[in-house]
Amino acid sequence: MGSLKNKYITGLVILNALLVLGLLFCRTFIFLDVRPFVWSGIAIAFLFLYELMLILVTRKKSDTISPRKSINLFLGLKVGKILLSLLFITVYAIAIKIELRSFILVFMALYFIYLLFDTIYLTKNEKIKKK
């Protein structure tokens, strides 16, 4: 399972690099001001670190916990991600207030891209665990 962890960490780094390059390329099409662009970069870093933590925690716990506790861990991590994301958007809305709709749309797109990534990882992790 260590190779699966390394494979997904590598994939996560590549995904992160592609998202940063995409954000740099599309900056002028999405945002008029630089502050939402900077916060979008911070959002990418936040989601990257959360996904990295998810991979490390699930890898560490997957061998020692039951399938039922594994589901609880997965759901707990998902709820934590949602709550932290809402907090992130709230802080942006209170602190910056510029181009709020554009920022939220970009953040939601990033959120769902990372959600797809971690869902694929956790599904493969559970399939390997069952074998």
pTM above 0.85, yes or no: yes
Neighbours of 130 (CB within 10 A): 7
Residue of 96, 81, 102, 94 lying closest to 23 (CA atoms): 102
Note the pLDDT tens digit of each residue in 4-47.
Answer: 778 888 989 999 999 999 999 988 888 888 999 999 999 999 99
Note the pLDDT tens digit of each residue in 82-129.
Answer: 999 999 999 999 999 889 999 999 999 999 999 998 888 878 877 777
Say what the pLDDT of residue 90 is. Answer: 96
